[in-house]
Amino acid sequence: MTFLVRCLALTSACVAAAAAEGAQTPERGFSVPYEMPYDGFLALDVRNQAGATIRRLVVETARAKGRHDESWDLKDDAGQLVPPGAYRWTAVARPPLKLTYGTTVYNAGQPGWFAPAPGKGGGAWMADHSSPLSACAVGDLMFLGSGCAESGHCAIAVDREGVKQWGVGNVLEGFHGAYRVASDGRYAYLCNSLGVQRVDPGAAFARSDVLRHAYTADLPPGAWDRRSGGAVARGDRLYLSFNGVPTPWARSAFTTDEIDGARSFPPLPEHDGKLEEDNFGERGAVAATFSAMGGPVSSKLVWFGDASGSGPLADTLTLAFKAPVAVGSVLLPEGVEEVYVLREGVELTDTVAESADDEGAGANDAFDEATWERCEVRTPAGPAAIAAPQRSLRTLAVRFKAQRIPYALVLDHRFADAAPTASRACSHGEIEKDGSWSVTREPDSAPIDRVNPASLVL
């Protein structure tokens, strides 16, 4: 890069001549001659005696090597004529940009990008989104596994010299890698939270699925926090370990299957169609809204709502159940101040029909006390909390005067308060063996811990 500096002197006559032409630019202007040292790009400006830039004449403009003249109309960047005085121009020249190969941070001939060599595995030496996590040997081959790859390979096989012989972009499904690999001497087994895939080096690295984890209460589907902890093959057995589901000490009192979708309002479908922790349907999203610990592993935000904007049930959400559930306490976002529970022994009416009654009418803010019992809503620092009744209570429905209830995390993991500065624990209790809820009151908010756990209505 080259710097050029020259001085200019403007007399009153120069400025007067320019002013005489009004706002028009002089035909020739003030000439700024310079010598371009090489073919390249130039930036040239004019500065006053204080060194401040008043006019940018040329900015990153291509110029050939040799003599050039730039014209200046004696105006600043705002279009105003400059006063008489001493000025200087400054220019910066640079040659064109060019690419120069430096080096490749991989073994020669085996770059990280896809560049397969004949008869070899070529490039893509491991994954771009995770580090190598596991290794095993099958004969003279070493299999290496990593978490996941958007580009590159999450699992590869190399020979004894480290030359790649084979690779694969994902295991079982996209963006799932080989967190653990194991060998029985003949096959390599690629393991993740979705299942196990077998690779046969003796058959051109043919792959076959040998295990797909099925959804059960004891073994939820593959979520990111349930990566395999270990894998080993011995004899005709493959042994796997996984991160277990944390033992909850604060849990919701209902499951997705216990929601009465037809009587809830707005209504919910009877089935989500896909039972997976990491991909909620409408019913699962509502259930996740009231989760006591952890958080939705889905990338989709969850909430309960939205309520109707007109009719008797305007701004009213109703969550109904197929069988009575025990009521504890529920944390609510700011703005939710009224919560009602259906009294024990009372059947819930058809909420869809109820909402259709006299659609032109406004919201029915007067809940029948013989049917609905209002819960006390406390508003300490942080989210509001509903204190459950002093006695045990089981209900078929809960109503919220709210347009929407978004998901509000209570605990991010065991014994940890997700918001330690918020006063959240207004009451706590335990569900008895018969399903009733034994509630004790706290005069003041207390930290969430094993002795004073968080509890939710649902």
180-228, pLDDT tens digit by residue? Answer: 999 999 999 999 878 899 999 999 999 999 988 765 545 544 444 555 6
Backbone angles phi, psi at 221, to 5 degrees: -65, 170
Assign 64 a pLDDT band (cuts: 50, 70, 90): very high
* Distance in angstroms (rounded) separating the CA atoms of residues 268 and 272: 9
Residues 6+ apart with CB under 8 A from 21: none
Residues 6+ apart with CB under 8 A from 114: 122, 123, 124, 151
- Highest mean pLDDT: which of 82-86, 121-125, 147-151, 449-453? 82-86
Q: Which amino acid is at 81?
A: L
Q: Output the CA torsion 159→162→166→169 (10° steps).
A: 150
What pLDDT, on a 0 to 100 scale, did the predictor assign at position 208?
96
What pLDDT, on a 0 to 100 scale, did the predictor assign at position 428?
42
The answer, yes or no, to whether residue 48 has pLDDT greater than 70, is: yes
* DSSP states of 159-171: -TT--EEEEES-B
Report how far Cα 215 is from the mean position of its chain's Cα atoms. Answer: 25
* Distance in angstroms (rounded) separating the CA atoms of residues 443 and 458: 23
- Among 399, 403, 401, which Cα is nearest to 263's? 399
Pick from 77-86, 260-269, 295-304: least confident: 295-304
* Distance in angstroms (rounded) separating the CA atoms of residues 74 and 19: 9
Q: Where do the DSSP E strands lie in 350-454?
A: 372-374, 376-378, 384-387, 394-401, 404-406, 411-413, 416-417, 425-431, 437-446
Please indicate whether residue 449 or residue 39 has the higher confidence score (pLDDT): 39
Q: 335, 408 in Cβ contact below 8 A?
A: no
Q: 426, 221 in Cβ contact below 8 A?
A: no
* Distance in angstroms (rounded) separating the CA atoms of residues 230 and 240: 6
- Mean pLDDT across the chain, nearest whole number? 73
Sign of the alpha-carbon torsion through 360, 366, 369, 372: positive
Assign 244 a pLDDT band (cuts: 50, 70, 90): low
- Structural tokens at position 254: 């209902």
The answer, yes or no, to whether residue 423 has pLDDT greater than 70, is: no
* Distance in angstroms (rounded) separating the CA atoms of residues 455 and 425: 8
* Distance in angstroms (rounded) separating the CA atoms of residues 238 and 216: 21
- Highest mean pLDDT: which of 99-113, 175-189, 439-453? 175-189
Q: 327, 437 in Cβ contact below 8 A?
A: yes
